[in-house]
Amino acid sequence: MDSNHEHTHVMEDGTVVTHHHGHSHGHTHSHAHTKAVLNRLSRAIGHLESIRRMVEDGRDCSEVLIQLSAVKSAINNTGKVILQDHIEHCIVDAIESGDNQALEELNKAIDRFMK
């Protein structure tokens, strides 16, 4: 097992957060909700593309804003799933291995996500 496992997360705003775990407990960064997150992101991307077409077609600004709000909500909910998965897996591993840096990085990521 690695003595210093590093992995990366891409936050909602595109910020890349990389952190290490003191030692790996077989942590491969495979989470229970990965498929669901990918599906949610695909739907949000499709929705955003349809909003772009609305703008190109000169659709009413109010309709566009309502649809943008729906995409923001979908992205925020996807972020919540990722955060929950991260806490349940990565942070549990970090706590078990005494990795306080992972907790500090989680706090930074939460601050950015909540803005």
- List, in order of start, the domains of the chain with CATH numbers: 31-112 (1.20.58.1000)
Q: Under a CB-based contact definition with an 8 Å cutoff, are residues 106 and 91 in contact?
A: yes
Kindly report whether the global pTM for this prediction surpasses the value 0.85: no
15 by DSSP, 3-state: which? coil
Find, among 84, 94, 106, 109, the residue nearest to 32 by Cα: 84
Find, among 48, 41, 2, the residue nearest to 22 by Cα: 2
Q: Give 17-49 pLDDT, tens digit per residue.
A: 555 544 443 445 566 788 999 999 999 999 999
